[in-house]
């Protein structure tokens, strides 16, 4: 008979951390681990930007966002501490379709094309970003395959939040992490509905 707080034999405690939960439950193929931002940054030749300036730019953009603008100004300033910031040249893949992801990006400047390769071979452009837009937040939350590719069209500056940084936020500032995840989920739901409508229209044309 188990005492209070004991785990059944062979089981492991439930983890709330994004870097461990999915792997522990077998949701991720060990042969296709998530692509971390550090590896992608080297691959695309990203140039690191100053933390303070990037954080200030991120806060200014998100203050005007319909969802993330619900965070108070001090919270927006604190968020910048968990992001890294980089400049990327045109025609670089920040995110690739179907790879497992462990980070999301926020467009600070420039334009990025969001495209999806359809099963019948057509490459469909789903969106072209504006400053403040999010990329890859779904894979940050679940560690699963990327829905689309995101390619820079111009010189761009982005902010990046990794799964490790989100875990750190959960430890150091749990209320802020909870607010951010709730707002990201709401914003993601709205965007997926819009994409579903777009894909449905394309299939009937």
Q: Collect all residues with Cβ–Cβ distance below 8 Å to 132 and sequence separation of at least 6.
A: 61, 62, 64, 65, 106, 107
d(CA 16, CA 148): 26
Instruction: Could you please state the CATH topology (level 3) that the domain comprising 32-197 is classified under.
Output: Jelly Rolls (2.60.120)
Q: pLDDT value at position 157?
A: 98
Compute the average pLDDT of residues 43-50: 98
| Residue 148 clears pLDDT 50, i.e. is over it | yes
Q: pLDDT value at position 19?
A: 58
Q: pLDDT value at position 201?
A: 63
Q: Ranked by mean pLDDT, which of 33-37, 82-86, 122-126 comes out on top? A: 82-86
| Helix ranges (DSSP H) in the chain | 21-24, 37-44, 51-63, 73-79, 137-142, 163-172, 174-203
pLDDT in tens, 94-127: 999 999 889 999 999 999 999 999 888 888 998 8
| Residue 179 clears pLDDT 70, i.e. is over it | yes
Angle between helices 174-203 and 163-172 (to 10 degrees): 140
Would you say the pTM of this structure is higher than 0.75?
Answer: yes
Q: Worst-scoring range by mean pLDDT, 128-137, 170-179, 189-198?
A: 189-198
pLDDT band, very low/low/confident/very high, at 142 (cuts 50, 70, 90)? confident
Q: pLDDT value at position 114?
A: 95
For the chain, the C-alpha Rg in angstroms (whole number) is 18
- Residue 165 backbone dihedrals phi, psi, to 5 degrees: -70, -35
Q: Collect all residues with Cβ–Cβ distance below 8 Å to 119 and sequence separation of at least 6.
A: none
Please count the other Cβ atoms lying within 10 Å of the Cβ belonging to residue 75.
17
Q: pLDDT value at position 192?
A: 65
Please count the other Cβ atoms lying within 10 Å of the Cβ belonging to residue 135.
24
Q: Collect all residues with Cβ–Cβ distance below 8 Å to 4 and sequence separation of at least 6.
A: none
Q: pLDDT value at position 5?
A: 43
């Amino acid at each position: 008979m188990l005492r209070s707080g004991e785990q059944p034999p062979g089981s492991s405690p439930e983890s709330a951390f994004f870097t461990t939960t999915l792997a522990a439950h077998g949701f991720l193929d060990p042969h296709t681990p998530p692509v971390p931002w550090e590896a992608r940054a080297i691959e695309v030749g990203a140039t690191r930007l100053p933390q303070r300036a990037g954080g200030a730019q991120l806060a200014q953009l998100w203050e005007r966002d319909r969802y993330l603008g619900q965070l108070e100004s001090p919270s927006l300033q604190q968020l910048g501490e968990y992001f890294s910031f980089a400049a990327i040249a045109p025609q670089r893949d920040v995110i690739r379709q179907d790879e497992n992801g462990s980070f999301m990006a926020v467009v600070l400047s420039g334009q990025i094309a969001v495209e999806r390769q359809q099963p019948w071979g057509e490459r469909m452009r789903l969106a072209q970003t504006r400053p403040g837009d999010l990329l890859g937040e779904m894979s940050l939350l679940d560690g699963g395959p990327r829905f689309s590719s995101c390619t820079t069209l111009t010189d761009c500056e982005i902010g990046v939040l990794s799964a490790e940084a989100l875990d750190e936020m959960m430890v150091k500032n749990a209320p802020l992490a909870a607010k951010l995840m709730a707002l990201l989920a709401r914003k993601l739901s709205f965007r997926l509905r819009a994409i579903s409508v777009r894909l449905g229209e394309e299939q009937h044309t």
